Chain A
């Protein structure tokens, strides 16, 4: 009986458990704000979702393709600024600015990618930092986009299309839907040729090229896709805060947070960024609320500490640790 069951089980269980895993996760995330109804908990939830979206977007090019960008705030900022710029110029709904932000981010990704993808490893990372910082400094002196003061969104909603809500709940579910889209897209990529090519490029560009992988084009596509999703994250951020300035849009901390959240959970793994955000965001919120305004500097210390610990002990992130520690037989059933 067991001999009949076990091959059958091996065939069905991974799919079943994979589906169950997705369903449990989805149910948990859907129910969270209904169980934890306090404004504080809901706010943490929204912040968590935003961090998970940004880091999952980063993960496509930084994790899967191994092109560690530390300048993704440039796309986040574009996504954040464009809706508010449209609003302040013509009074348009932020929704009109979201696709424009995506288009601008993809255009920027292509312009940035062409020269920087000639660089590898640390040189690529440093180039992305430099570009993002240039954009931040430029933005803070450009009065058209509000210079150092930044831009403001609609104070009160004229209608649902302004995406300005009183409570946290609508934001929570909008963000959750977007996270779902990002994760489903990433999961689809993982299974396709594109995903295999990304992982091959991460491991060895030269070997990938020798097997006919169009390395430059694949990296460019990954960056463009990643930029588009990061831009959406930026747009979501401003619909919630209704305000953007150079630091909260293009600041280096935005980029660093994406890297750390993904790396903490596991870069290049589908649920890595989710796990990273689930750990980091409550921690960050806690330090901020314990230490008040003076605690914001602690975020840097926290990030620095996490970088050191991950780099020293677990470069693959926590999911990698889980994969190593949990026995293989038990784990196989859970693999999606």
Chain B
């Protein structure tokens, strides 16, 4: 088992954003985390990445307890993450951005640059382009390239494929496949069902802080509890107006 999150809870005041969530990831898997907005998947994701300290529970990575470890310690241990809103280093070129990640395992500049160059090539970016001139798809791609350069064993992708055009989406899916083929285990938070259906073999569905279903994507989308979480409960006597949908999710 590469990653094991046991009974993870996170409370903000009296609000329980995540309530006793479990997740076990085998080496080499791609796992999807889905759920309506505010379901707690992002909070859970941040707990795994070390950005948020869980209120209860333990997170074990490769036999080590990383529950209370800092984000930089997570990166060193081999857990990489991207951000929903990619925080590009604006004043640096694409290559320099990626080099920041590469420096984690290569302390010499030339080694770091060589490694970063390979990664940039893999992700299809232009190394000399200034960070600030990238559009959203480029920034998301750069976010992935940067974390890839840190040499992660587990990659946590936080809506890295949202906001892309259909063509860009196909390219991004291909990129995730290539990363997976490199032997990197992937946990992906995503709203776009197309991404989840094509990439993942196993999905966890969050609602109101709980994991309400897990299984293959095909099975999960037919699950009663999942349909109810997304669309609300069907009434015996349909009301005059259709039931409200839960957010954009």
CB <8 Å contact, B91 and A202: yes
Which residues of chain B (112-163) have a CB below 8 Å from chain A? Answer: 112, 146-147, 149-150
Q: Is B230 an interface residue (CB 8 A)?
A: no
Q: Is B4 an interface residue (CB 8 A)?
A: no
Which residues of B does A touch, CB under 8 Å? Answer: 49, 51, 70-72, 74-76, 80-81, 83, 87-92, 96, 99-101, 103-104, 107, 109, 112, 146-147, 149-150
Q: A213–B73 Cα gap in the complex (Å)?
A: 9
Enumerate 7 A-B pairs (CB-CB under 8 Å) in ascending A order.
Answer: A191-B109, A193-B109, A203-B89, A204-B89, A206-B83, A207-B89, A210-B51
Q: Pick the contact of B150: A192, A211, A215 (CB < 8 A).
A: A211
**A214 with B99, Cβ < 8 A, contacts A203-B92, A204-B87, A204-B89 known:** no
**A196 with B99, Cβ < 8 A, contacts A209-B70, A209-B71, A213-B72 known:** yes
Q: A197–B75 Cα gap in the complex (Å)?
A: 15
Q: Which residue of A lies closest to B75 (CB)?
A: A212
Indicate the member of A191, A193, A204 with the most B CB atoms within 10 Å.
A193
CB <8 Å contact, B91 and A196: no
CB <8 Å contact, A192 and B109: yes
CB <8 Å contact, B100 and A215: no
Indicate the member of B72, B83, B88, B90 with the most A CB atoms within 10 Å.
B72
CB <8 Å contact, A200 and B109: no
B120 to chain A, nearest CB (A): 15
Q: Is A208 an interface residue (CB 8 A)?
A: yes
Q: A203–B88 Cα gap in the complex (Å)?
A: 8
Q: A213–B51 Cα gap in the complex (Å)?
A: 14
- Give the bracket for the number of chain A residues in contact with chain B: 20 to 34
CB <8 Å contact, A210 and B75: yes
CB <8 Å contact, A199 and B91: yes
Which 6 A-B pairs rank lowest in CB-CB distance, beginning with the nearest?
Answer: A212-B75, A204-B87, A207-B87, A212-B104, A203-B89, A209-B71
**A210 with B49, Cβ < 8 A, contacts A199-B89, A203-B91, A204-B87 known:** yes
**A214 with B96, Cβ < 8 A, contacts A203-B87, A207-B83 known:** no
Which residues of chain A (182-230) have a CB below 8 Å from chain B? Answer: 191-193, 196-197, 199-200, 202-204, 206-215
Q: Pick the contact of A212: B96, B109, B112, B150 (CB < 8 A).
A: B150
Q: A268–B75 Cα gap in the complex (Å)?
A: 27
Q: A193–B108 Cα gap in the complex (Å)?
A: 7
Give the residues in chain B near A204, CB-CB below 8 Å: 87-89
CB <8 Å contact, A211 and B147: yes
A325 to chain B, nearest CB (A): 16
Give the residues in chain A near B76, CB-CB below 8 Å: 212
CB <8 Å contact, A196 and B147: no
CB <8 Å contact, A213 and B83: no
CB <8 Å contact, B89 and A214: no
Q: Pick the contact of B112: A193, A215, A268 (CB < 8 A).
A: A193
Q: A268–B146 Cα gap in the complex (Å)?
A: 22
Give the residues in chain A near B74, CB-CB below 8 Å: 210
**A211 with B100, Cβ < 8 A, contacts A204-B87, A268-B91 known:** yes
Give the residues in chain B near A268, CB-CB below 8 Å: 91
Indicate the member of A196, A199, A213 with the most B CB atoms within 10 Å.
A196
Give the residues in chain B near A215, CB-CB below 8 Å: 72
Give the residues in chain B near A208, CB-CB below 8 Å: 100
CB <8 Å contact, A200 and B83: no
Not counting A192-B109, A203-B90, a sample of 14 additional A-B residue pairs whose C-beta atoms are within 8 angstroms of each other reads A193-B112, A196-B96, A200-B100, A202-B91, A203-B91, A206-B51, A206-B71, A208-B100, A209-B70, A210-B147, A212-B76, A212-B101, A212-B150, A214-B72
Q: Which residue of B lies closest to A213 (CB)?
A: B72
**A206 with B100, Cβ < 8 A, contacts A193-B107, A211-B150, A212-B150 known:** no
Give the residues in chain A near B91, CB-CB below 8 Å: 199, 202-203, 268
Give the residues in chain A near B80, CB-CB below 8 Å: 210
Give the residues in chain A near B89, CB-CB below 8 Å: 199-200, 203-204, 207
B247 to chain A, nearest CB (A): 25
Q: A268–B90 Cα gap in the complex (Å)?
A: 13
Q: Which residue of A lies closest to B81 (CB)?
A: A210
Q: Which residue of B lies closest to A192 (CB)?
A: B109
Q: Which residue of B lies closest to A208 (CB)?
A: B100
Q: A215–B71 Cα gap in the complex (Å)?
A: 10
Give the residues in chain A near B83, CB-CB below 8 Å: 206-207, 210
Q: Pick the contact of B103: A191, A193, A206, A210 (CB < 8 A).
A: A193
B142 to chain A, nearest CB (A): 11
